[in-house]
Structure formats: C-alpha cells, structure tokens
A and B are shown apart, each in its own frame.
Chain A
C-alpha cells in the first residue's frame, strides 16, 4: 500500500514542482531547468535504488553479539511457536556462564573429550587424519581448536558444547528424532563447572597463539590480511572456498551436501554481491536473514566477525584502498578543469551578449 502512495506522490510532485518553478521568474532560467532536472533524476534514483532495496529486502534486527538466545526466543514467539524449550536451554546456558572456569582443569577435559576428533596444533594435539578422510568419517572436517577461544563468543561456546545443533540454530536440518545425527555429540550431560573449565582453557590456549608469520618487510595491508586470514580459515574455510585467495574448502562438496543439504558457495565476491551490512547480519545469525538456509550460526564475537568481513574485502575488493586514495585526486583535478572551462566559456561569450 505504501508503494501506491509513493506512486501517486510522484505524479503530484512532478506537476507541482513544474508549476512552482515556472513561476519563479527571479531565478535565472538555467538554474530553474537544472533544479528541475536534479530533482527528477534524484527522485528516479531514489525510486530504483534505496526505495526498491527497502521494498525487496525487508529490514531485520541488527546483529547481536550477546548470544543469550533472546533473539531466538523472540523469533519463535513472533512466529507463534512454542518457545519453552528454547527458554529452558538458554536459561541453562546463562547458569553455566556464571561459573568461573579453570583452564588447568579444562585442559584435561578437552584432551579427554575433544582431541580424538579435533586437532589443536598450538597445544600439541595434531590432526590425525587428512581433511578428506576426516570429512568422510565424521561427515564434516572438524575444526582445529587453537584459536577457537579467541574467535567464538564465550556464551556461544558454552551453548555449543552443550548442544551444537541448538547453538548453531540448525534444528531444521537436524530435527530431534530425525534420522540424521549431527557429527558432534551434545555434552549437556557434563557438569556446568566442567563446561566452563573447557571454555576457559580454550580461551587461555588461544591467547597464547602468536600472530601469524608474515614475510620480512610486509606492508600493513599484508600483515592485517594475514591476521584476518587466520580467523577466516578457522571460522569459514571448513565449508567455504575463497578461490581468489587460492583457498579451497576443507570439507569436500559431496560431504557438505550430506552434512547440510547444500554446497556452500565460493566467497570470493561476496563482499560485492552481498555487501558489508548484509554479511554482518547474516554471519551473526543466518536464519534471520535467510530462513531455512543450511548455514549454521558460527558464533563469532564482534571482533572476529569484523575480521572475517575485512578479509572478504581484502580479497574480493582488494583495490578498495587504491580507489579511495585516487578518488579525491581525480575529483580535485576535474574541479580545477571545470573552473578553467567556465572561465574560457565566459571569455568567449562576453562578445555574444
């Protein structure tokens, strides 16, 4: 309905504008013509760009990095679905989060419970199988946990260890009682203190990992790219490729389609096709932007997420800095040229009036 009003408003506006401008004889004629054209062009631009985007891509709530389940519950209630289970789950998570973890105790628990499948190279737990074999035996290549404690939110990690499917928000792919079982088992049988300890250990271990090596004399751009790449590899590359950076997905396409029912796209140009805003919102919780998508919520904290998006920019729009540096120079040059052109025209036309 709103759109209809806009359509009518356009017609009326055009007519009124034209009448008003034709009466303002004290304004120079060319200025009046120019203002009509600027308004008309501006209006049409507004119509097929911002307005059309607004109509075609309804706004969703901004990304939230609390990972306290509030938005999940609201979404369920909004859809008129039963949210009791979700409420109970996230209440448990909040309880666990109150425990102060012990990294030393956590180390033993992780060694006993996680490293059979997960590597953690920085702590001396090597990868036991090739990526392809791991994908074949588990359904998906398990992530290395070296920097997990730095890129994933603490609350999210607690929720994830307790119940991966709920934390990832992919209950539609792995329904309770369905015949597909998520590769990583839930650990909600563990004591809250134990879970808190494991998370404390992950975070402690991550803080000891030193910055990725870069070659001697690397530029600031290259250093930041290397730092961001590490995060991107941990967070995204198990499923996604980044061809323009020579990065292949760790899990084979075949395993992926069994795991999540879709083959994840190459992300090389996603910064251009989706844009900053969309990516932030989408990564934060894919279901909110694209209900039913196979992509799980990965639980990146705010910093890690912005590193991921920055990396996508550094690969997909690698000339951004160059573009932004050159822009002002070209515009200044053209402005000066325009001033000279104006002066020359006035000189020539002085005799004509």
Chain B
C-alpha cells in the first residue's frame, strides 16, 4: 500500500483516498459542452429530475401498495389516497410524473432527430437512448397495471394479447407472459416485480450507459458544428470564456439546466394539483372486472400513435388478414426508430430546417404522429378507420422512403 501523508483538511483526506479533485475535473468542471445550445438541451437533465421524482414517490407508494388482485385497488384508492398522510400527493406526483416523463422523452427524441444528433459518431447515444425509451415504455405499462382498475386490466389484456400474433409460439407466449390463461393475480404480481425491481434497476444502468455514450462524441449543438474541443477548452481555461465555443458542465451547463427544471416544476406541480385527469384516467377508478369490457379501450396518450398503427390495417390485403398486417406494422413502428441513424443517408448534421429534403420529411412525420395520436384514442369506426389507415400507411411510407430521400439530399448538398 502506498504511503499516506496525514491530511490537513477533510477535502484532502478524501482526495488522498478517492482522488476527488481529478474526478471532479473530469466529470464536472472540465467536461466540455458546446455553448451554442438552447433549452432543448436541458431535456436530458429534466428527465433525470423526473426519474428521481418517480423513484422517490414510488418508494413511498411501495410502503402501502398491495400487489394482490383483491387488495390492489383499495390499497391505492383508499389507503394511499385517503388514509395515509399526503399519500394522495405521492400518487399524483407519481402518476403525473409517469405521463410527463414521456412528453419530455418525446421532446428529447425529436430534438435529437431535428438536429441530427444521432449520426456521425453519435449512433451509440441514439441507441442507448432508444434502449431507455423501450425500458420506460415497459415501466409505464407495468406501472399502469398496478392500481388494478378497469383500464389497468383491459390494457394488460390487449397488450399481452398482441404477443399472440407471433407465429408458432404466440399462444404459448401469451400464457407464459401472463402466468395464467387470462390476466390474473399471477400477471399482477409479476408485473409488480418488473415495475419495482427489474426494470428500474436496468433503467439506472441504462441511464449511466447513456451518459457514458455522450462522453466521447460530445453533445451536438444548434448548428451541428464540429470543432476542436481541445483548442476551445484551452481558450476557456485561459480565461477567454467569451470567445470559447465550449462551456463547462459545471457550473455553466447545469446552471441553465437547473433554471429550466425549476421553471418546468411550476408547470409540473400545477398539473399535479389541478389537472391530473390526463395522467390518471377516470375509467381506471372503476375496479378491474374481467366480465365487463369498458365502452372504449385505449392506452395512455404516449402509446396512442403506435396503438393506432396497430389498428390502422383493418381489412385484408393480398390474403393477409388486417390483424396480421396491423401486427407487422406495429412491429415495424416499434423497431424502426432504432435504426434511424442508418436510414438517414445524408451526411448533413444540421437543424432539419436547413436541410433541403429532410425538413419536409421531419415535419410530415410530426404531423403524421399527431394524427395517429389523436385518432388512436377515438373509436375506429366509419371515417376514423380510414384516417387511421391512411396515417399508418403514411408512417410506414415515410420510413421506407427515408433512405432514398436522404440519398437525394446527399447529392444536392454534395456529400457535406
């Protein structure tokens, strides 16, 4: 073991043992972030904040929640909401947080798409981000089941049923996932385990990995500019902060993040106190009843677009049933964002609006996702079914055409 001098201060004591000073430099004061960024680059930090809120409130809820089909509903709606001091507050924060985290994830994702932050060295950031998206989806879905209301039950029923569409193993797979032939107590307890243990643990690891992937390529900036980080950071360290293109993670970048988070929290807690119906569906305040199908079954808002893709194909095409087509389209929609860095063949890293072809693609995709989301909630009858079909095909078409469109763009801009 190396010789240790007697430490003169607590800071030194820790520094000797943990190399705190060097560590802080690497992680905070000399971790470089581009200066040309706007508040959209605070979405990642905001997500971390929301995730923390979810974990903390979740721990409190866990103290009273009972994962049993006979007790779950009342343990939430009576014990937590009415008996436990401020239990209602924890539940509202948790419920609204779970919904709002998806809003911010979407803003974060589409910021990345808009600024082209998924390519030229940033592919791993994108992939780890998509991993987070998948994990959050699973976390949201499993959590939604826990209050064991009507929507909990029927969403669980419909979503697990989807796996039945997989050829050969589908039927057995559904039973394996549910732990029973129908959605039952075994289903609730296993999704409870996933929600409070396995997925959160993996999520924490995945967030750490996402941060790791950011380290080498650095985050993108408003103009998609590539520059020499070494030169710019030397300028910064020499005191010429104003002319340097970089800022330090701490305190420069985080001071802005905190500002955005603090302002956002005002809005967030407004929702928690005064407008939480969008996150806690009224139908879910009816106890689960397997004999009584609700008049309308729909997922939470953040799954509506992919649900609509699933429902979009409602008639047979070329001998393949509408249900199977829907499942294939749904599978396509789930996976396609993952490979976006390779579908975009244009080398341009620029905001979408400066890209001659991509800009149309981007805004069309946005519009299409809006239509899918809005119609995903409506009953798929009459004209709605056709709008759904049209929007679903548009979605598929957009992604299939992306490599071709971006190849054209690449020619237009001359490979730059």
Give the residues from 140 to 176 in chain B that come closer than 8 angstroms, CB to CB, to chain A. Answer: none
Give every chain B residue within 8 A of A353 (Cβ-Cβ): 242
From B89, B241, B265, B287, A326 is in contact (CB under 8 Å) with: B89
Whether B107 pairs with A10 at a CB distance below 8 angstroms is no
Whether A334 pairs with B262 at a CB distance below 8 angstroms is yes
Give the residues from 286 to 311 in chain B that come closer than 8 angstroms, CB to CB, to chain A. Answer: 286-287, 295-296, 301, 304
Per-residue contact bits, chain A 315-330, to B (CB 8 Å; 1 contact, 0 not): 0001100111011001
Whether B383 pairs with A3 at a CB distance below 8 angstroms is yes
Contacts A340-B262, A344-B255 known; list 6 others, CB within 8 Å: A18-B363, A33-B38, A268-B77, A273-B286, A323-B88, A341-B261
Whether B274 pairs with A327 at a CB distance below 8 angstroms is yes
Minimum CB–CB distance for A330 against chain B, Å: 5
Give every chain B residue within 8 A of A340 (Cβ-Cβ): 262
Per-residue contact bits, chain B 88-126, to A (CB 8 Å; 1 contact, 0 not): 110010000000000100010000000000000000000
Whether B387 pairs with A4 at a CB distance below 8 angstroms is yes
Give the residues from 352 to 409 in chain B that come closer than 8 angstroms, CB to CB, to chain A. Answer: 353, 363-364, 366-368, 370-371, 373-379, 383-384, 387, 391
Minimum CB–CB distance for A70 against chain B, Å: 28
Whether A15 pairs with B78 at a CB distance below 8 angstroms is no
From A244, A265, A324, B82 is in contact (CB under 8 Å) with: A244
Taking the complex as formed, is B127 at the interface, i.e. its CB lies under 8 A from any CB of chain A? no
User: Nearest residue in A to B268 (C-beta to C-beta)?
Assistant: A334
Minimum CB–CB distance for B199 against chain A, Å: 25
Q: Which of B9-17, B50-58, B200-208, B276-284 binds A?
A: B276-284
Bin the interface of chain B by size: 35 or more
Per-residue contact bits, chain A 181-205, to B (CB 8 Å; 1 contact, 0 not): 0000000000000000000000000
Minimum CB–CB distance for A307 against chain B, Å: 20
Whether A48 pairs with B242 at a CB distance below 8 angstroms is no
Whether B285 pairs with A273 at a CB distance below 8 angstroms is yes
Whether B266 pairs with A338 at a CB distance below 8 angstroms is yes
Task: Please judge, given known A-B contacts A52-B378, A244-B82, A273-B285, whether A334 and B266 are in contact too, CB under 8 Å.
Answer: yes
Give every chain B residue within 8 A of A34 (Cβ-Cβ): 39
From A11, A33, A55, A330, B367 is in contact (CB under 8 Å) with: A11
Taking the complex as formed, is A114 at the interface, i.e. its CB lies under 8 A from any CB of chain B? no
Interface centre among B35, B92, B374 (most CB of A within 10 A): B374
Q: Which of A37-45, A76-84, A93-101 binds B?
A: A37-45
Taking the complex as formed, is B252 at the interface, i.e. its CB lies under 8 A from any CB of chain A? yes
Taking the complex as formed, is B415 at the interface, i.e. its CB lies under 8 A from any CB of chain A? no
29 contacting pairs across A/B (C-beta < 8 A): A3-B384, A4-B387, A14-B363, A15-B367, A18-B353, A29-B38, A33-B38, A37-B107, A40-B366, A44-B373, A44-B374, A48-B374, A49-B277, A52-B377, A56-B378, A265-B286, A268-B77, A269-B77, A269-B287, A272-B77, A319-B81, A323-B273, A331-B266, A331-B269, A331-B270, A337-B262, A341-B259, A345-B259, A351-B241
User: Nearest residue in A to B286 (C-beta to C-beta)?
Assistant: A273
Please give the residue numbers on chain B whose beta carbons come within 8 Å of chain A beta carbons, in ascending order.
35, 38-40, 74, 77-78, 81-82, 88-89, 92, 103, 107, 241-242, 247, 251-252, 255-256, 258-259, 261-263, 265-266, 269-270, 273-274, 277-278, 282-287, 295-296, 301, 304, 353, 363-364, 366-368, 370-371, 373-379, 383-384, 387, 391
Give the residues from 238 to 270 in chain A that come closer than 8 angstroms, CB to CB, to chain B. Answer: 243-244, 265, 268-270
Minimum CB–CB distance for A110 against chain B, Å: 40
A34 to B241 Cα, complex, angstroms: 27
A342 to B264 Cα, complex, angstroms: 12
Give every chain B residue within 8 A of A326 (Cβ-Cβ): 89, 273
User: Nearest residue in A to B274 (C-beta to C-beta)?
Assistant: A327
Taking the complex as formed, is A142 at the interface, i.e. its CB lies under 8 A from any CB of chain B? no
A105 to B272 Cα, complex, angstroms: 58
Interface centre among B39, B265, B379 (most CB of A within 10 A): B265
A157 to B187 Cα, complex, angstroms: 50
Minimum CB–CB distance for B416 against chain A, Å: 22
The 8 A-B residue pairs with the shortest CB-CB distance, nearest first, are A47-B374, A327-B273, A273-B285, A341-B262, A272-B285, A11-B367, A338-B262, A345-B259
Task: Please judge, given known A-B contacts A11-B367, A331-B266, whether A344 and B259 are in contact too, CB under 8 Å.
Answer: yes
Interface centre among A49, A324, A341, A351 (most CB of B within 10 A): A341
Taking the complex as formed, is A138 at the interface, i.e. its CB lies under 8 A from any CB of chain B? no
From A269, A319, A344, B285 is in contact (CB under 8 Å) with: A269
Task: Please judge, given known A-B contacts A1-B383, A56-B378, A56-B379, whether A48 and B286 are in contact too, CB under 8 Å.
Answer: no
Taking the complex as formed, is A35 at the interface, i.e. its CB lies under 8 A from any CB of chain B? no
